């Protein structure tokens, strides 16, 4: 299981504003681009988005489905990557003073990733999460000016 946390210098409401915008998914999630709505109203339970995933010269379509949401604290997703399988990605969003502590926990569920899941794969996921959470922080902080942290204890 690969879990990582990051302190974002904005209120939880600002983080949620980014998480709720399906068009931004490809901006902060490492390895994805061109995210677009597929089904339902993102991020409502059962809604989904699709996006492009590049692996070397090949491009695939990925899909992510909301499996659990408890605003303003929890968002759990299932990322489906065709023959590569699927993974559970859980985001925990907590107020931390006037900032937000975001923890991401990911593990493979099905397919090749689930079969080959090991410490090495968890290490690679950790590296991906470090970049992903830094992107989420930059995007959130850029979209919400400093000093506008009203509602920090949402």
Among 99, 90, 74, 91, residue whose Cα is nearest residue 153: 99
Are the beta carbons of 138 and 24 closer than 8 angstroms?
no
In tens digits, the chain (154 residues) has pLDDT values of 578 899 999 999 999 999 999 889 888 988 777 888 999 999 999 999 998 877 778 888 889 999 999 999 999 999 987 777 888 999 999 999 999 999 999 888 887 666 666 676 666 777 777 989 999 999 999 998 776 654 444 4
pTM as predicted: 0.84
Structure confidence at residue 68 (pLDDT): 98
Structure confidence at residue 115 (pLDDT): 60
**Which are the contacts of 118, defined by CB distance < 8 A and separation ≥ 6?**
none
The CA distance from 69 to 46, in Å, is: 10
Strands 32-39 and 74-80, by their bridges, are: unpaired
- Show the domains of the chain with their CATH numbers: 2-143 (3.30.530.20)
């Amino acid at each position: 299981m690969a879990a990582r946390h990051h302190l974002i210098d904005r209120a939880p409401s600002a983080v949620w504003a980014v998480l709720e915008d399906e068009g931004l998914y490809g901006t902060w999630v490492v390895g994805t681009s061109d995210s677009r709505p597929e089904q339902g109203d993102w991020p409502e339970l059962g809604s989904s988005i699709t996006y492009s995933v590049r692996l070397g010269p090949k491009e695939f379509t990925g899909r992510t489905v909301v499996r659990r949401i408890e605003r303003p604290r929890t968002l759990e997703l299932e990322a489906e990557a065709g023959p590569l399988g699927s993974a559970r990605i859980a985001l925990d969003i907590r107020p931390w003073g006037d900032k937000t502590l975001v923890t991401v926990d990911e593990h493979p569920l099905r397919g090749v990733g689930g079969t080959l899941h090991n410490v090495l794969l968890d290490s690679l996921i950790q590296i991906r999460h470090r970049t992903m959470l830094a992107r989420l922080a930059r995007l959130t902080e850029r979209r919400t000016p400093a000093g506008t942290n009203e509602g920090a204890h949402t």
